[in-house]
Structure 1
Amino acid sequence: MSDSRENPSPERRTLECVKEAPGAAESRQDPRYEAVRSRDARFDGVFCTAVRSTGIYCRPSCPAVTPKPENVRFYPSAAAAQQAGFRACRRCRPDASPGSAEWDLRADLVGRAMRMIADGVVDREGVGGLARRLGYSSRQVQRQLTAELGAGPVALARAQRAHTARVLLQTTPLSVTDVAFAAGFSSVRRFNETVREVYALTPSALRAAAPRGSSGAADGDGLALRLAHRSPYAAAQVFDFLGRRAVPGVEEMRGEPGRRTYRRTLVLPYGVGVASVAEPARSRPGGWLDVRLRLTELRDLATAVERLRSLFDLDADPYAVAERLADSGELARLAAAEPGLRSPGAAEPHELAVRAVLGQQVTVASARTLAGRLVAAYGKPLPAPDGGLTHLFPDTAALAEAPLDEVGMPEARRTALRALAAALADGTVPLEPGADRDDADRALRALPGIGPWTAGYVRMRALRDPDVFLPGDAGVRHGLDLLNCAPSHAARWRPWRSYAVHHLWRAAAESTPPTTTKRPARANRSTP
């Protein structure tokens, strides 16, 4: 996928302004200053506002008194503002802003690097490891990130560690030393220095300054957090989507619509975890999801949070999506009826790829049954079963050698699943955060039994590509029929075709399937 910049939204145009003209607001007509003056939350995470007279940087939507234009500096990232000597505002907490949708949209070096940094690659493997994964030199990665974000990979990872440290200090009873290492710092001294620089407080003072009703509280059930998103957010649609696909043993959905809790097990770099995500009430104000995490290793906190953000598509830009689809004619009515519709990603990319093969040519309910059998036969038992959560999803290396007789699939499908598992285990198919999407697509299609639908579905969800269209999917075809439009019309929905697919799926699911229209024999039937 190319770095699409067709028909940019107002937010993307503002982001271009940040890149092309960093620095002070020269007049009240600067679109960034207008966003600050109107406290426009759409721009939270797109850029930061720093005020020279106070030494503080904020979200554009910060409720504080609007600073004078001559005192304002704009930075494309929190890390850049921190490097310039500004500390995070304690009122709006800009370090907890939603991430930028730019990084999912872009398939270039910077976009891929940002996805990897968010997943903790720099903390685990250093800048050298990040560069090797990207296929560039460390110097090239440093230069590109600094040019576009005002900070290199070390500073960007440091900003993320500082945010994790603040969350742990203010929501857990962990000692300062334990927080330092759990947040990914290599030494307590470096941890202390970073916290003072970023928040202008010592770690102990930062803990004491925790506001009432802050992002969460720790107890015997784990760490409670709030994960920010841009509103509107069609939470019911996301919970419907995940609930229909919840794999027994690995996932479960509790409660009634409007009061549901999605729960699942997680395989993380240092240990395992259990995540619980509450469906927000329609009447509740605020742009966040309430999450509770139980981790065997607190070092996995930042990675677990990022993977949940991916699963629930929390960094999406609903304004840009709505603007594009509203201009397309055919989808305008559907987009208006379901504002803030999301394209859910994946908590574990390898798991999603295996499940995509299980879902070939069968209904969602059947795919869920097959996945449950696979988990029961080959999944690793959870150290401490938690309600309906009993297993971790099977390891791909184990599946590559498994007979798979217990699952109940045709031999051709079992062969395809083993080939995919082997390719995932040895890295032939790269699906880690920030993987090159085109390379992964080619590698997937080279495997036996993997066609355009499977590769596209994996690309959409596991690789968080917002611009995937699935013309061979039965639900998509049905949705297109309802709109009286041809697959070729999808070109009008770039670069947000993944969201268009979800609108078509919703339309198909809410209508009575036609009984006279024949589908191609190979059209995939895995629709919502």
Structure 2
Amino acid sequence: MYEAVCSRDARFDGAFFFAVSTTGIYCRPSCPATTPKRPNVSFFPTAAAAQHSGYRACRRCRPDAVPGSAAWNARADAVGRAMRLIGDGVVDREGVTGLAARLGYSARQVQRQLTAEVGAGPIALARAQRAHTARILLQTTRMQAAEIAFAAGFASVRQFNATIRAIYAATPSELRAAKPGRFPRQGAVGGADGAAGIPLRLAYRGPYATTEVFDYLAARALTGIEEITGDTGSRAYRRTLRLPHAHGIAEVSEKPGDGWLLCHLHLGDLRDLTTATQRIRRLFDLDADPYAVAERLGADPALAPLVERRPGLRAPGAADPHEVAIRAVLGQQVSLAAGRRLGVDLVAAYGEPLETPSGGLTRVFPTAEALAGASLAELGMPDSRRATLRTLAAALADGTVSLDAGADRDEAEKALLGLHGIGPWTAGYVRMRALGDPDVLLAGDVAVQAGMRYAGAEALDAEGWRPWRTYAMHHFWNTAADRRHAPAA
């Protein structure tokens, strides 16, 4: 880790943090400041752990703004699930007791496991996240400090002020004045009239294959809740969001910055900022570690050329896990285009209208509760598929199937397979996208088989691709698409 600090290696940003005892400051590994002497350096697995030990954030490298650790997405244990739930804002909304209940442990067990693994308990981790949210609002909006305090999840203005001073060694006013700025400050909430909303730089590590990600989302975009604007290379993906307190709209630019994607959020309630940010990060797979993926998959002779051809290929996740599950059933045993048409019909018939439409965005995807008792007569598909869709919606609505950020992936897949009409492909697809599992291989998928055949990977042992088989599958999908679109000889 010290060697990574000495070389300012950005590959490790977010994987760990280092703190300097002589300055009382903690940084990301790529911080451009003078490298401290080794005896003065301590290492921490999370920013919250460094803060919990009394260190404040470096103003130069802003360590709180790095990508998240890919380990939390890959890990399926209680700690990994807890980190994903905290990122989704569960502690702010439901407290530590609610977090523990979702994990199936006592609050004391959750505290002990998190402290042992990441150096901070759930309250400290949520506090670090609130501080980061507050900094964004201070530096990108004209909101009053008191409004920001409650929007970020603090219980009081006094708690907000004390936390900002402890983490950033500055008052909220000083932090606002020191904004890094190329973003103009906006009003409290961006409207649907073209206002810029809240601008965010969503950090990622390593290369990022934006074209492939936007192509993937464009091919599946449902009219009313999603749209792609602009031309290839300068497109924007826009979609509606169903959030805990209100609806929102996210717009993400295809043109990357220096290690980040530009996102604008238009929120009906600013308390949803943290949750909305994390859901867009999961949708665009921004916490992935492309270096680890390339190292493992590139060691396979058949996959090496594919990895080299598409550096930084990502595996898009979900902004709404329930939506992905329902759309997976719509897409069973039909083409991508046919599944998309069914999704458009479903949104038109049952989607909740936006109070103020924005461009082509007019609705929010229907809730599981709304679909559980619906006739679905508007959908041109067999009655058995309609029954499966209603069964799934009912299971999601009553909690029989849990797909929240901290769901146990094995249990969720088992519950899905226990529903009539849902088979291994659908359960695996939901596990991959809705639950963000990086190690899913849909071996029976026709496009995957075609891609494997073109790559010469049919006879190879896919076990060697673990724990990144999802990324291998995306390489095969892209390879199959290349062949389909290649001009005839």
Question: Residue 124 of structure 2 aligns with which residue?
Answer: 155
Question: Residue 484 of structure 1 aligns with which residue?
Answer: 456
Q: Give the superposition deviation at 1:46.
A: 0.7
Among 94, 114, 118, the alignment partner of 2:83 is 114
Q: Give the superposition deviation at 1:492.
A: 1.6
Structure 1 Cα separation of the partners of residues 379 and 155 of structure 2: 45
Structure 2 Cα separation of the partners of residues 130 and 455 of structure 1: 25
Question: Residue 39 of structure 2 aligns with which residue?
Answer: 70
Structure 2 Cα separation of the partners of residues 277 and 176 of structure 1: 27
The SS at the match of 1:252 is: strand
TM superposition score normalised by structure 1: 0.89
Among 40, 49, 61, the alignment partner of 2:30 is 61
The SS at the match of 2:32 is: coil
Mapped contact 2:307–2:475 kept (Cα < 8 A): yes
Among 288, 291, 295, the alignment partner of 2:267 is 295
Write the deviation string for residues 356-413 of structure 1: whole angstroms up to 9, x where unpaired: 0011111111111110000000000011000100000011111011110111111111
Mapped contact 2:249–2:265 kept (Cα < 8 A): yes
Question: Residue 202 of structure 1 aligns with which residue?
Answer: 171
Question: Residue 450 of structure 1 aligns with which residue?
Answer: 422
What fraction of aligned residue pairs are identical, expressed as a percent? 64
Given the alignment of the two structures, is residue 34 of structure 1 paired with residue 3 of structure 2, yes or no? Answer: yes
Question: Residue 150 of structure 2 aligns with which residue?
Answer: 181
Mapped contact 1:353–1:462 kept (Cα < 8 A): yes
Structure 1 Cα separation of the partners of residues 459 and 217 of structure 2: 26
Mapped contact 2:240–2:361 kept (Cα < 8 A): yes
Question: Residue 199 of structure 2 aligns with which residue?
Answer: 224
Equivalent pairs counted in the alignment come to: 480
Write the deviation string for residues 32-57 of structure 1: whole angstroms up to 9, x where unpaired: 11100100001000111111111111
Matches within 5 A, 1:508-519: 508-512=480-484
Question: Residue 399 of structure 1 aligns with which residue?
Answer: 371
Paired amino acid for 2:5? V
Q: Give the superposition deviation at 1:209.
A: 1.4
Give the aligned CA root-mean-square deviation in angstroms. Answer: 1.4
Among 355, 367, 380, the alignment partner of 1:383 is 355
Structure 2 Cα separation of the partners of residues 217 and 77 of structure 1: 30
The SS at the match of 1:434 is: coil
Paired amino acid for 1:249? G
The SS at the match of 2:354 is: strand
Among 305, 329, 334, the alignment partner of 1:362 is 334
Mapped contact 1:471–1:487 kept (Cα < 8 A): no
Q: List gaps (5 residues or longer) in structure 1.
A: 1-31, 515-528
TM superposition score normalised by structure 2: 0.96
Given the alignment of the two structures, is residue 253 of structure 1 paired with residue 225 of structure 2, yes or no? Answer: no
Mapped contact 2:18–2:43 kept (Cα < 8 A): yes
The SS at the match of 2:397 is: helix
Write the deviation string for residues 477-509 of structure 1: whole angstroms up to 9, x where unpaired: 111111233376221211100000000000001
Q: Give the superposition deviation at 1:188.
A: 0.8
Among 246, 254, 260, the alignment partner of 1:279 is 254
Structure 2 Cα separation of the partners of residues 424 and 53 of structure 1: 52
Q: Give the superposition deviation at 1:314.
A: 0.1
Question: Residue 371 of structure 1 aligns with which residue?
Answer: 343
Among 243, 246, 249, the alignment partner of 1:268 is 243
The SS at the match of 2:378 is: helix
Question: Comparing 292-301 with 67-76, which one deviates more in the overlay?
Answer: 67-76
Question: Residue 167 of structure 1 aligns with which residue?
Answer: 136
Mapped contact 1:115–1:433 kept (Cα < 8 A): yes
Question: Residue 298 of structure 2 aligns with which residue?
Answer: 326
Structure 2 Cα separation of the partners of residues 339 and 251 of structure 1: 27
Question: Residue 26 of structure 1 aligns with which residue?
Answer: none
Q: Give the superposition deviation at 1:212.
A: 2.7
Matches within 5 A, 1:462-477: 462-477=434-449
Mapped contact 2:455–2:479 kept (Cα < 8 A): no
Given the alignment of the two structures, is residue 412 of structure 1 paired with residue 384 of structure 2, yes or no? Answer: yes
Paired amino acid for 1:89? C
Question: Residue 461 of structure 1 aligns with which residue?
Answer: 433
Write the deviation string for residues 293-328 of structure 1: whole angstroms up to 9, x where unpaired: 000000000000000000000000000000000112
Structure 2 Cα separation of the partners of residues 221 and 513 of structure 1: 37
Structure 2 Cα separation of the partners of residues 216 and 231 of structure 1: 29
Write the deviation string for residues 132-175 of structure 1: whole angstroms up to 9, x where unpaired: 10001111111111011110000000000000000001110000
Paired amino acid for 1:237? E
Matches within 5 A, 1:14-53: 32-53=1-22
Paired amino acid for 2:158? R
Mapped contact 2:186–2:196 kept (Cα < 8 A): no
Structure 2 Cα separation of the partners of residues 488 and 422 of structure 1: 40
The SS at the match of 1:416 is: helix
The SS at the match of 1:57 is: strand
Paired amino acid for 2:473? V
Structure 2 Cα separation of the partners of residues 215 and 158 of structure 1: 27
Given the alignment of the two structures, is residue 81 of structure 1 paired with residue 56 of structure 2, yes or no? Answer: no
Q: List gaps (5 residues or longer) in structure 2.
A: none
Paired amino acid for 1:393? F
